[in-house]
Amino acid sequence: MKNSYITLLLLLSFESYSLNIDGVLDEPEWKEAHTIATFYNVYPYTLEISQKKTNVKIFTNENGIYVGFTNTQDPQSMGSYKHVRDEWNTKTDRNAFVVDFDGDGNTAYTFMLSLGNSLLDSTIRNGNDQSYDWNGDWIGYTKINKENWVSEIFIPWSIGNMIPITGKRKIKFGAFRYTAFDGNLIGTAKTHPERDKYMYQLDEYEIESYPAKKNINYFPYVVAAKDSVTNNEINKIGVEIFYNTGTGKQINATVNPDFGQVESDDVVVNFSAEETLYGEKRAFFNENQTIFDITDRDRLKVMHTRRIGSRPSYDCSSSSNEELCNDSKQEYSDLDYAIRYTQKEGGTEYGFFTASEQDEEFSLGRSYYAGRVKSENNNRTLGYMVTYTDDPIIDRTAIVNAFDYDHIVNNKLRVSSILLHADADDKNSIGFKGSMRYKPTKDDSHNLGFHYYGDDLDISDMGYLQKNDWVSFGGRSSFDRYFANDSKLKNIEYSIRYGHQSDTKSNTIENFINPKIEIELKDTNTFNFWTTFKSSGKNTTITRKNILSPFVKRPARYNFGGSYDSKNFSNFAIGAKLNFERGSKNNSWESKGYKKTWAEAAYYFFPKDFLTMRLGFNLRDQKEWLKWIDANHLAAYDATEKFLSFNLNYFKGNKHEIRLKGQFVALNAINPVSLISDENGYLTQSDKIVNSFNVGEAAFQIRYKYELAPLSNLYIVYSQGGSIYEENIDSDSSSIIEDSWNNPSGKIFAIKLRLRF
State the DSSP code for 313. P
Tens of pLDDT, residue by residue over 718-749, are: 999 999 999 998 888 999 999 999 989 889 99
Tens of pLDDT, residue by residue over 707-726, are: 888 778 999 999 999 999 99
What is the model's pLDDT at position 660?
A: 95
Tens of pLDDT, residue by residue over 202-234, are: 999 888 877 667 888 898 999 999 989 888 888
What is the model's pLDDT at position 137?
A: 82
How sure is the predictor about 333, in pLDDT bands with cuts at 50, 70 and 90?
Answer: confident
Percent of the chain whose pLDDT exceeds 70: 97
Q: Report the candidate in 510, 573, 567 with the shortest Cα–Cα distance to residue 538.
A: 510
Distance CA 240, CA 250 (A): 13
Contact 555, 537 (CB under 8 A): no
Q: How far apart are the first and last CA of the chain?
A: 21
Query: What is the residue type of 755?
Result: L
Q: Report the candidate in 471, 325, 303, 319 with the shortest Cα–Cα distance to residue 388.
A: 303
Distance CA 727, CA 629 (A): 14
Distance CA 206, CA 554 (A): 61
**What mean pLDDT do residues 342-351 have?**
88
Every domain of the chain and the residues it spans:
13-207
Tens of pLDDT, residue by residue over 97-148, are: 999 988 887 789 999 999 989 999 998 887 788 888 778 889 999 999 999 9
- How many alpha carbons fall within 13 Å on the CB side of residue 137? 28
Q: Give CA separation, 250 vs 32, 170, 215, 357, in Å.
A: 34, 22, 9, 23
Q: Where are the beta strands (DSSP E) in 228-347?
A: 233-244, 249-255, 295-296, 300-301, 335-345
**Residue 710, preceding bond cis, omega within 30 degrees?**
no
Q: Which residues pair with 395 in a beta bridge?
A: none
Q: Who wins on pLDDT, 84 or 532?
A: 532
Q: Give CA separation, 490 vs 23, 486, 526, in Å.
A: 32, 10, 10
17 has a pLDDT exceeding 60: no
State the DSSP code for 570. S
Q: Report the candidate in 730, 644, 643 with the shortest Cα–Cα distance to residue 694.
A: 730
Provide the pairing of β-strand 367-377 with 54-60: unpaired
Helix (H) or strand (E) holding 280: none
What is the model's pLDDT at position 280?
A: 84
Q: What is the mean pLDDT of the chain?
A: 90
Distance CA 372, CA 336 (A): 23
Report the SS3 class of residue 620: strand
Measured from the Cβ of residue 606, the count of other Cβ atoms closer than 10 Å reads 25
Query: What is the residue type of 81?
Result: Y
Q: What is the DSSP string of 640-692?
A: EEEEEEEEEEEEETTTEEEEEEEEEEEEEEEEEEEEEE-TT--EEE--S----
Tens of pLDDT, residue by residue over 442-472, are: 889 999 999 999 999 999 999 999 999 999 9
Q: Give CA separation, 92 vs 54, 136, 283, 750, in Å.
A: 17, 21, 26, 32
Tens of pLDDT, residue by residue over 620-679, are: 999 999 999 999 999 999 999 999 999 999 999 888 999 999 999 999 999 999 999 999
What is the model's pLDDT at position 355?
A: 96
491 has a pLDDT exceeding 70: yes
Phi and psi, residue 99, nearest 5°: -140, 135
What is the model's pLDDT at position 261?
A: 57
Report the SS3 class of residue 58: strand
6 has a pLDDT exceeding 70: no
Tens of pLDDT, residue by residue over 275-293, are: 988 888 887 888 788 889 8
Task: Please tell me the pTM assigned to this model.
Answer: 0.89
Angle ∠(118,121,127) on CA atoms, nearest 5? 150
354 has a pLDDT exceeding 60: yes
Q: What share of the chain is helix, strand, coil (3-state, %, to 5)?
A: 10, 55, 35
365 has a pLDDT exceeding 70: yes
Tens of pLDDT, residue by residue over 233-278, are: 888 899 999 898 878 889 999 998 875 556 778 888 888 889 988 8
1 has a pLDDT exceeding 50: no
**What mean pLDDT do residues 174-185 have?**
93
Query: What is the residue type of 146?
Result: K
Lowest-confidence segment of 159-163, 173-177, 448-452 by average pLDDT: 159-163
Residue count (the chain): 757
Q: What is the CATH number of domain 13-207?
A: 2.60.40.1190
Distance CA 356, CA 391 (A): 11
Distance CA 243, CA 409 (A): 36
